[in-house]
Chains A and B, each alone.
Chain A
Amino acid sequence: MLQLLIGTDIPFMRYRRFAYVFSSLIVAAALAWFFVKGPRYGVDFTGGTLLQIRTNQVVHADQMRNALEAEGIQAELQQMTGDNPNEYLLRFRTQGDPVRQVQDAISKHLPGVTMELRGNQTVGPKVGSDLRQKAIMAILTSLGAILVYVGIRYEFKFALGGVAALFHDVLVTLGFLMFTGREVSLTVVAALLTIAGYSINDTIVVFDRIRERAKALRKERHSRVMDIAVNETLSRTVITAFTVFLAALALFLWGGDVLRDFSFAMLVGVVFGTYSSVYVASAMALDIWIAIDRRKGVSAE
């Protein structure tokens, strides 16, 4: 039997204060960034046009930019790297139909260069704000529904810890997307919701074990019960995180540009989802548990 992380006895809960500080810092940074600078939203939220074009030969980004500027085209230009240096993403924040303009600019200023339109995503301002609202609604309602479910199935202290972990994971992932300058689009929101599902899934496995152990080990200190439960589920937690990580990594490396931001979010989400099951969900549940006990006048710590 090949075994990893079996029979460990790591005093996870002893270090939870460090984790609180660490998590608070990242979450605070993410929130600050969100409210001060804001994420880079995709055209599906801001409205505008995203063109993906491919040219028959590699043109330096500066040359391409000059050609567009000469025709008065205002676009944010991004040249693809890797296998496709002859592909470009053009972002227009304004309304209009820029395909022909771009075509004209290229044929006029870059002799010998022809372009192929690979993709055109145009979103009007009305649809953009619709989608923004829908995305926010989806995130809030699904988090709310999960909260209700966890609230029914588990005691208050667990529910609160689990939902804190959920928000933590979504915020941290959003933070990493913002820090790395990635775009928040509809697909990324889908990733965030998937992470929410994964995060609570992972938390529930740990919680189930805590609940089971709490019954059997009534005499033990709460933190000890938690440590035992976390250690017992550690191999499962790590193995599952690992296989999901492998799948997301394959998407990130080989899944193409369209899925890159999505799979990046998944990678971050899996890592933090695993960490937060222990250090946000369980740790918070523990502190709430202790606080409840203190109010009742008993002390199990």
Chain B
Amino acid sequence: MSRTDQGKLLGVVLVTIASLWLLYPSYQYYTMSPAQQQAMDPAKLGKLRKKAIHLGLDLQGGMQLLLEVDKSRLSPAEAKDAVERAREIINNRIDQFGVAEPLIQIEGQDRIAVQLPGLTDPERAKELIGKTALLEFKLVRSADEQRTLYQRLDSWLAARRIVPSTDSALAKTPLTGLMIDNGFFRREDVPSVQKLLATTGIDSLVPTDTQLLWGGEDEARSGMTGRSLYVLKKDAELTGGSVASAEAAVGLESTNPGAWGVSMKMTPKGRADFARVTGNNVGRQLAIILDGVVQSAPFIRDRIPSGDASITGGSFDVNTAKDLAIVLRAGALPAPVKALAENTVGPSLGSDSIREGLTAGVIGTVMVVAFMAIYYQLSGLVAIAALALNLLYLVAAMAYFGATLTLPGIAGIVLTVGMAVDTNVLIFERIREELRHGRSIHESVRLGYDRAFRTIFDAHSTTLISALFLFQFGTGPIKGFAVTLSIGLLANLFTAVVFTRMIYDYWLGRGKVERLSI
């Protein structure tokens, strides 16, 4: 064996050992039963998971969200790091929600991509992530102030003959005529009232330090269901920034002991502010507002020095209360976010995809392998060995680079199997040709490799170009496909040109070979 041959052999052996070593964590991780995973030290398990090949969301199931931070209402100074802050807050929320291995990245100018593998309740997660969670405490205007405002609105609307219906009783009092009491409207009247309030020009009647906001849920009052409209002092007395901790709790209202709600504790400064506000406004209502919707507006009976406050409402269950507590703890988003795209893959679909991908891969490989063995005989076996190494290197490289295996990625691997043999086919056909021209076996093998190489190089380069562009523009799964295709091509170049050549050199170097099995 010559020096260069020894070098090549060493190279192949080293790369193969390295590949096996790189793949060992994946083997360990994916052959573990859930029980074994539970029994393992979480830190160690996490490490192992990091080293194992990552499965894309399309294979392991989970949710992917693309969010856009709406910076339109922020000042330039606020807008500067709004996306980064939003990312941190979303990160905190997800951490507390409890998802293994979330991935939250900023994309472009104002987008945040969120990946939540293994998630089971996408609707709940969306709610949790997308909530701005701007918590405000605002004073409700006094009954006199409210009456004055409503009268002004009524006469303005009546003068313009803007009425909710032809009912003559409403001609003079279009707005208060529908009101049952103290800002409360029947559910069926709410849309008409909203329409009245949306009349252009009506804003000018509301004092600039005053604001009208609706209550969130249908409530029952005087035996009717409906919603309340609140007249509020526009400036918030306190905001969510004053909240130190929030917990889901049951029995916060004495009138409704079984109901869920969220109890909050304030920061020292928040506590002082809260004590001052409550102390100065005994007898008035303090509205608790979340994202522009009034949750409740309890009367202040006394100064509250403890800084304990709570959010209650008819619709809380254990999950919604817990989620609200999470978002209050994690803080409000600096600006509203909107989901631009969502991709949810249920766990059953993911495991089906793995099964189908593997089935197709195995059948495809068996067909190609069988064909090669029949057509090229012993040389076919060399090509198959090269193919096996090729796949080994490909998967090991994916583990090394932390690339994600997706379903299109599996398709890429299967196609690699089909295309990888091409390199060997090119070489074999060339060797056969040289043999037919009457050259010796040694000569034919040498010429076959040399002459085929340039073609192989050109062919690989062009395919690599298209793979690189795929990677460039691809999102998620497509990227996975481009990655497997590119690594597969490089691994293929190595196995076909170095590995198989070495086998032939060894084979032919052992003395006189009468016939080449090709």
Contacts and interface: CB of A to CB of B under 8 A. Distances in A.
A254 B361 CA distance: 9
B371 interface: yes
Contacts of B341: 122-124, 127
Nearest to A145: B465
Interface in A1-53: 1-4, 6, 52
Judged by DSSP, the binding face of A is: helix
Contacts of B342: 120-122
Contacts of B411: 251, 255, 259, 262-263
Nearest to B516: A1
Nearest to A130: B340
Interface in B93-138: 122-123
Contacts of B469: 138, 141-142, 145, 193
Contacts of A233: 429
Nearest to B459: A201
B474 interface: yes
A138 B468 CA distance: 10
Contact of A124 (B339, B365, B455): B339
Interface in B408-456: 408, 410-411, 414-415, 417-419, 421-422, 425-426, 429, 432-433, 436, 454-455
A131 B475 contact: yes
A1 B429 CA distance: 11
Interface string B469-500: 11011110110011001000000000000000
A127 B346 contact: no
B353 interface: yes
Contacts, number: 219
A254 B356 contact: yes
B378 to A, nearest CB: 11
B477 to A, nearest CB: 7
A187 B339 contact: no
Interface in A109-138: 116-124, 126-127, 131, 134-135, 137-138
B461 A149 contact: yes
A190 B484 CA distance: 13
Contacts of A193: 466, 469-470
Given A198-B463, A239-B425, A256-B356, A120 B343 contact: yes
Nearest to B374: A2
B458 interface: yes
- Which of B352, B371, B410, B454 gathers most chain A CB within 10 Å? B352
| A-B pairs, 6 with minimum CB distance | A247-B418, A250-B364, A256-B356, A142-B469, A197-B466, A138-B473
Given A54-B348, A100-B123, A250-B414, 4 more contacts: A1-B432, A116-B348, A134-B473, A200-B466
